[in-house]
A and B are shown apart, each in its own frame.
Chain A
Amino acid sequence: MALKQISSNKCFGGLQKVFEHDSVELNCKMKFAIYLPPKAETGKCPALYWLSGLTCTEQNFISKSGYHQAASEHGLVVIAPDTSPRGCNIKGEDDSWDFGTGAGFYVDATEDPWKTNYRMYSYVTQELPQLINANFPVDPQRMSVFGHSMGGHGALICALKNPGKYKSVSAFAPICNPVLCPWGKKAFSGYLGLDQGKWKAYDATHLVQSYPDSQLDILIDQGKDDQFLSDGQLLPDNFIAACTEKKIPVVFRLQEGYDHSYYFIATFITDHIRHHAKYLNA
């Protein structure tokens, strides 16, 4: 698992780097971005994983969200992987923007032809953390996850499927109930097959039902003018209702006037970094 540094830029006293490596889970070369705060020069820091949304690469978050200052101040190592395997020469992988390349949906595909490469769930929860823990000054015991849209869905399911693994979770405009939305239906049927019972294992709203009574503080920001909200792709109300019923602590903030863009993310990124820092640095 050799790491190849693609770039390194000093930012807020730390370093924003991009590496490339050969992924075992995904059977392809993968890039990921990692921010090492100044604090990482002298000791191990907590790791915060950012999962991006549809069509994104590792670049979108690091160049648009403006998270560096908060991460630098709180001393968090922030890792942003790509959103899917790339260059696997699977037929149809580049046919649509919401399926295949750039749309891994953070699931382990069980259907051909995707099942050999599209194992993003295992990649972000297993392979990548092991790689990071082995090569960077991070504390394996302190990790959290957050994401946007499809990545928000990814963050929620990673946290809900692994109680105690992540200290905290947050999301920007997450796809909360993918089994009921067009994006989810398309992706899940493609990667997981038509058995909707298998879909529920990757659906945050359904995962909440079986989540054990463990402390998990969930922060969700949602732009009120988000077109995908009104399109019924995100369905946060279902998730909130499930959490209210199961008494899973969620603060859901419907932000007046904001859309689905990185402008919206950049506005509240500091709140989210602080939310994670509160638990990671406790």
Chain B
Amino acid sequence: MDLYDSEDRLQIFPEGNTRMRREVVQGLEDDHELGDEFVGENTLRAGVSEYPPYVMKRRESAREQRDWRFGGEATEAEDLSFGGWGSRGQCQDLREAYRYTRGRSSEEYECYVIPEEEDEEEAPDIFCVTCKTPIRACEKVLDEHKGHEVTPLDKALENAKDEIHKNMFKLERQIIEMENFASHLEEVFITVEENFGRQEQNFESHYNEILETLAQKYEEKIQALGEKKKEKLQALYGQLVSCGENLETCKELMETVEEMCHEEKVDFIKDAVIMADSNRLGKFLKTKTDVELSTQPDFEDQNLDFSDVEQLMDSINIIPAPSAPVINPQAPNSATGSSVRVCWSLYSDDTVESYQLSCRPVRDGSPQEDQAAFTVTVKETYCSVTNLVPNTQYEFWVTAQNRAGTSPASECAMYMTAPSPPIIKIKEIRSCEEAALICWESGNLNPVDSYTVELTQAETPEASGVTESVVGIPTCESLVQLQPRQSYTIYVRALNVGGPSARSKPAVVHTTGSYFHLNKDTCHPWLTISEDGYTVVRSERKAAAREQLPSNTQFTRCVAVMGNLIPVQGRHYWEVEVDDCLDYSVGVAFEDVPKQEDLGANCHSWCMRHTCASSRHKYEFLHNKMTPDIRVTVAPRKIGVLLDYENSKLSFFNVDISQHLYTFSCQLHRFVHPCFSLEKPGCLKIHNGISMPLHVADY
């Protein structure tokens, strides 16, 4: 198709008998009123539909009268046709635009293209707006243009050019639209061809099937008919043979009887008696000659059964049974602990009434025997399967069905339910002002891919409960960075390919001061740790004579216990409440401090030791068995311990009077842990979660 057939679009009809040419543009988007002389008698807009015959008629005369013009036009039109709509160039656009303009109003363009014009007419110099035609100035006074609005030709030209550009733009847009439409049509064309081709095939196969069935039925019928015929003929032949035999016998008897008739009377009588007595004749006569037809010659009426053919005929219009659907792999994060969302797709030309989704759990990595644990029928191409076991692999496959039948099964796809939520070990959480160490139990028997820790800062004026997440944690432990002096609610989720588990039960972490726990594994057997985990008691019993076996974890000589401080560099502060006549040591030690030695008796530990003899207090600040000579006049009831990794210092304070007691400068090349020892029966109480007091900040 050529959308740009020029003859349909543009026709020019100069009128031979008038100076003014009337030009008509047809088929273009906007039919401007042209050839003003028509206006009175024939409004172009209204008259377009009835115009063509008239135009056609007049074209003939135009061709004769203005052969040069038409010829030129025709050439152009051909050019356009050759160009075709698929490969227009810019020059063509311009040419069209030009043509459009000329056709519409501008005499000047015409003059430019066709110089002969000048010979015929004097060049117009003004433009009559009313008539939309260029005129000579002198014509203005003539009746025709009297009182008409006129503009200088230049201005009219400008206007006309503007108009041209606008129209060019419109045309371009239209061209693009038409191109798009054409390509769309092409697509539709291809689709139609495909669809019909498929339907043809479908019909062909069905009709072939029907024809085959019919041929088969015909064969069957013909064969049955032949057999019947043969059977009948055989029966009749048999009857004929026996009939002939009887006839023979009859004739023979007849002859015998005739012979007897020619005999002498005596002989005749004799023979007649014999004859009569003899069985032969009697028998024969007794035998009833069967003259009934054993077989009817007529064809027994047989019903021709076309029901199956009819069924086949009916099925021609039914779409064939669907092909096997394609089951999708599991979409990330689509599963919960008890459900998965299974999706699949069908081939676009299949008509499917329902799908049957089958499922079986996969245990020990290998599918079990080929038997579905359950099946479910759905109409959609997805299904949320619920009531499943968490963190478990399931195998799914799906079949599609319609009236024509059931498709083969899809491939099997593995889907995994999300894990169960982990369980945070709340009693093992350690924290300081900058971080917290969170531990949890998986909550799942099978391994999961990773864990996510979610932290929500408690609602405060500054923090609006934003949730942060730490993702991709491979182990059941995570050190999360936090802001000082805040409260956080912490949740943990387990993740596998199916998605995240539900949140664990929350744990609350305060980042005011440090929180640690006493490590019961290190605890000397004479010490007991209270229910709350922060009071260490050595009871008034006879010191057991039993020698403790040396151990790497448990204190055996010094009656001490070690705490688990969070492994974070920075500052940690805790306080210890003591009785002022108690003999105690408080300090820090590396985890592998020799457990059979006293605190401060080696280079792995630092401690403040208090001994009380006859109401005299002695304070030692021991490291590697050495202490400075320091006297303290007021016995502290509460000792503040400041561990400062940044400045490599360990300081002790009398909390009640904000008194600085001593500061160790220690090389803390590894993490140390708080240590507490009781050299005499009594108890000490550890206080955690205390904001570092102002007065210790400078040490």
Contact = CB atoms under 8 A, between A and B. Distances in A.
Interface of A: 215, 217, 219, 224, 240, 243-244, 247-256, 274-275, 277-278, 282
A253 B658 contact: no
Contacts of A248: 633-634
A256 B657 contact: no
A282 B660 contact: no
B659 A249 contact: yes
Looking at B633, B654, B699, the one whose CB has the most chain A CB atoms below 10 A away is B633
Contacts of A274: 698-699
B698 A278 contact: yes
Nearest to B629: A254
Contacts of A282: 694-695
B147 interface: no
Contacts of A215: 657
Looking at B631, B634, B654, B658, the one whose CB has the most chain A CB atoms below 10 A away is B631
A116 to B, nearest CB: 39
A251 B661 contact: yes
B630 A240 contact: no
A252 B631 contact: yes
A248 B694 CA distance: 22
A58 B659 CA distance: 30
Nearest to A249: B634
Q: Ordered nearest first, which 8 A-B pairs have the shortest CB separation?
A: A254-B629, A243-B633, A250-B633, A252-B631, A244-B633, A249-B634, A249-B657, A249-B659
Contacts of A275: 660
Contacts of A249: 633-634, 654, 657, 659
23 contacts: A215-B657, A217-B659, A244-B633, A247-B634, A248-B633, A249-B633, A249-B657, A249-B659, A250-B631, A250-B634, A251-B630, A251-B631, A251-B633, A251-B659, A251-B660, A254-B630, A254-B631, A255-B628, A274-B699, A275-B660, A278-B658, A278-B695, A282-B694
Contacts of A252: 630-633
A277 to B, nearest CB: 7
Contacts of A240: 631, 633
Nearest to A217: B659
Nearest to A244: B633
Contact of B628 (A253, A277, A278): A253
Contacts of B658: 217, 278
Interface of B: 617, 628-634, 654, 657-662, 694-695, 698-699
A267 to B, nearest CB: 13
A219 B661 CA distance: 10
A228 to B, nearest CB: 17
Label chain A's interface by main secondary structure: mixed
B369 to A, nearest CB: 79
Contacts of B630: 251-254
A217 to B, nearest CB: 5
A72 B629 CA distance: 30
A252 B659 CA distance: 12
Nearest to A236: B631
A215 to B, nearest CB: 7
B428 to A, nearest CB: 37
Contacts of B695: 278, 282
Contacts of B628: 253-256
B368 to A, nearest CB: 74
A240 B618 CA distance: 13
Given A251-B633, A275-B660, A282-B694, 6 more contacts: A240-B631, A243-B633, A249-B654, A251-B659, A252-B633, A254-B629
Looking at B659, B662, B694, B699, the one whose CB has the most chain A CB atoms below 10 A away is B659
B698 A253 contact: no
A250 B660 CA distance: 10
Contacts of B617: 244
Nearest to A215: B657
B633 A247 contact: yes
A240 B698 CA distance: 26
A210 B109 CA distance: 124
Contact of A256 (B629, B634, B660): B629
Nearest to A252: B631
A201 to B, nearest CB: 22
A277 B660 CA distance: 13
A247 B659 CA distance: 13
Contacts of B699: 274
A140 B606 CA distance: 42
B647 to A, nearest CB: 13
A278 B699 CA distance: 10
Contact of A250 (B629, B632, B698): B632
Contacts of B698: 274, 277-278
Contacts of A251: 630-633, 659-662
B659 to A, nearest CB: 5
A247 B617 CA distance: 13
Nearest to B617: A244
A115 B11 CA distance: 136
Given A278-B695, A282-B695, A253 B629 contact: yes
A248 B633 CA distance: 7
A251 B695 CA distance: 16
A224 B630 CA distance: 11
A275 B696 CA distance: 11
B631 A217 contact: no
Contacts of A243: 633
Contacts of B633: 240, 243-244, 247-252
A52 to B, nearest CB: 25
A200 B176 CA distance: 113
A219 B300 CA distance: 138
A217 B631 CA distance: 13
A253 B662 CA distance: 9
A224 B628 CA distance: 11
Looking at A248, A256, A278, A282, the one whose CB has the most chain B CB atoms below 10 A away is A278
